[in-house]
Structure 1
Amino acid sequence: MRADENLEYHLARLLILLHHFGKPKSKGLDGLTKLAKLDFLLRYPSFTDHLLSSRGASWPLGCEPNADELNAVESRMIRYKYGPWDHRYFSLLGRLVGYELAETVNGKGRISIRLTEKGDALATQLAATSDWRITYERSEMLRRNFNLSGNKLKQMIYESLPDAVDRPHWEAI
């Protein structure tokens, strides 16, 4: 990971996402594919907006993206193999484990990750701040609408968002 990237931002976002999908003492969030696809939906609201509409769902009141957010830099991405920034997941998850904020558990043939009590408490503290409240609410919306296996999420994204996936790896979308 380059030193100029905002490490704390990515770690905080993953903590909040895991708060909804990998609570302490749970089976955890099962697999890197599911994490990457959920994080994709969290980070790129223009794509999420399309998927919500196709499922007959909508954004919860107060956390729908505005026009500026739909066109912001965070809404642009590079096509990677697993997600918008797959090469960084290992480093970020390793940091969460190293800081004792998350732990790995054996999943269904894959590694699952879940928060520790310390990580869950930090995610709850972050969610109480104005900077992270919408991320928290959107993560909850993802749990309600997209709590599927990594493979099912991948299939849904590939079928519903061909502009995002029908490109060579490393190409800008």
Structure 2
Amino acid sequence: MKSLSRLGTRPASLPLAADDILEFHAARLLLLMHVCGTAGRIDGLTKMAKLDFFTRYPDFFDAARAATEPDAQSAPFDRSDAIESTMVRHHYGPWDKRYYQVLAHLEARRLITVSKVKNSYQIALSTEGAEKAKALAKRPSFATLIERQRAVKKVFGGKSGTFLKTLIYQLFDEEVGKRPLGQVITK
């Protein structure tokens, strides 16, 4: 994964995927904290990863919402780019190996703070991070992502990371639970 600032010497003829760009992931996590967090804060890496999973995999989100809220209507998400950035099976369910790099990137730029509280980490937007997240949220290019995150927050924002991990393993045992560690989660 590379930063946009380091791509200046890259031949323009080579294809470039958003998934390969550090800032793409940083923007998504800033928005996740802004939209899905409580006062711009998410308590725990597990919760952050699971909320991010449901944002990135809308079909899994719809299935989980239907299982937890049987009367809920499915959101009409644009599925043309339903999984624009994949995750892998990790010890605690869906995970992105880039999280540590992206969180360090955001923390180094003073857009977030990461604090250890007991056995968990709180990831919170700084004042500048909140301003950047608000500016990103106004961009039309993030409208679909924001819509998904709002739906995820409404259904699962008040749940713990452990609850979400357990739910994912219960509902998606074949797709996630039985997948070998490190293997990409597909639909």
> TM-score, normalising length from structure 1?
0.83
Aligned residues: 165
**Structure 2 unaligned spans of 5+:** 4-15
Shift of 1:98: 0.6
Matching residue of 1:69: 81
Per-residue deviation, 1:79: 2.4
Identical counterparts, % of pairs? 36
Amino acid of the structure 2 residue aligned with 1:168? P
Q: Call closer, same or farther: CA 1:8–1:75 in 2, change over 3 Å.
A: closer
Greater RCO (CA < 8 Å, at least 6 residues apart):
1
Contact preservation (8 Å) 1:79, 1:164 = no
Contact 1:22-1:115 at 8 Å conserved across structures: no
Q: What is the alpha-carbon distance in structure 2 between the residues aligned to residue 51 and residue 161 of structure 1? A: 9
Match of 2:146 in 1: 136
Amino acid at match of 1:19: H
Contact kept in structure 2, 1:105 and 1:113, CA below 8 Å: yes
Q: CA deviation at 1:107?
A: 2.8
Shift in Å, 1:170:
2.3
SS in 1 for 2:115: strand
**Where do 5+ consecutive residues of structure 1 fail to align?**
none
Partner AA of 1:17 in structure 2: L
State which of 39, 59, 66 in structure 2 corresponds to 1:23. 39
CA shift at 1:134, angstroms?
A: 2.0
Match of 2:46 in 1: 33
Distance of aligned partners of 1:67 and 1:15 in 2 relative to their CA distance in 1, 3 Å threshold? closer
- Structure 1 residues 75 and 16: CA distance shift in structure 2, 3 A: closer
Q: Using a 3 Å threshold, how does the CA distance of structure 1 residues 90 and 82 change in structure 2: closer, same or farther?
A: farther
| 1:46 corresponds to | 59
Quote how far apart the aligned CAs of 1:164 are.
Answer: 2.0
SS in 2 for 1:87: coil
Q: Whose strand proportion is higher, 1 or 2?
A: 2
CA radius of gyration, larger in: 2
Partner residue of 2:22? 7
Question: What SS class does the counterpart of residue 114 from structure 2 fall into?
Answer: strand
* Deviation, structure 1 residue 82: 4.2
Cα deviations across residues 30-78 of structure 1 (Å, max 9, x unaligned)? 1111111111111111111111222233355xxx3234334x5x27553
Return the match for 2:103 from 71, 93, 102.
Answer: 93
Partner of 1:150: 161
**What TM-score do you get using the length of structure 2 for normalisation?**
0.78
